[in-house]
Amino acid sequence: MTRVLVPVDGSSHSETALEESIELFPDAEIVVLHVVQVTRIPSDPDVSPYEFAKAEGEDILEDAREMAAEYGRPIKTALVDGNTPRTIVKYVDEHNVDHVVMGSTGRSGVSRLLLGSVAEAVTRRSPVSVTIVR
């Protein structure tokens, strides 16, 4: 069975990537991955930044499960710590992923020619095909 990895970050682009993966790969096993990275400090001083980021990631994965359920598709999910591009490529290597579908940020002007930094890094380093969704 084909295994498709969909990295998500809670953005509308990653939601679109999940929708596209469901449509493009109707018979594939879809694995939705969120990489935990501390990017914000919680307002509650009793909550560690890591625990806050991890809880956010769990919420993002729950949203992905709900979206997939609306399409009648079961998905697997994974929550992993690390540098986002490296962690995605490592996951591809270690879990027999056949294809990656991911979102890219929309840009204008000269930067429009470039992908988002995570999408660009994954596309460059991935040993499998990557579909970028806008």
pLDDT digit string, tens, across residues 75-84: 999 999 999 9
CA 73/CA 64 separation, integer angstroms: 11
- pLDDT over 90 at 41, yes or no: no
pTM for this structure? 0.89
Q: What digits encode the pLDDT tens for the residues 57-116?
A: 999 999 999 999 999 999 999 999 999 999 999 999 999 999 999 998 644 444 444 446
Taking the chain, what is the end-to-end CA distance rounded to the nearest angstrom? Answer: 27
Whether 33 and 86 have beta carbons less than 8 Å apart is answered as: no
CATH number at residue 22: 3.40.50.620
Q: CA 26 to CA 30: how far, in whole Å?
A: 9
Give the integer Cα–Cα distance in Å for 123 and 14: 15
For residues 15-27, give the mean pLDDT.
Answer: 96
Q: What pLDDT was estimated at residue 5?
A: 98
Q: pLDDT category, 127, cuts 50, 70, 90?
A: very high
Domain residues for 106? 3-133
Number of separate domains in the chain: 1
pLDDT of residue 112: 42
61-68 contacts: CB < 8 A, separation 24 or more?
Answer: 61/8, 61/32, 61/34, 63/10, 63/15, 64/6, 64/8, 64/15, 64/18, 64/32, 65/32, 67/15, 67/18, 67/19, 68/18, 68/22, 68/30, 68/32
**Closest C-alpha among 113, 84, 96, 109 to residue 28:** 96
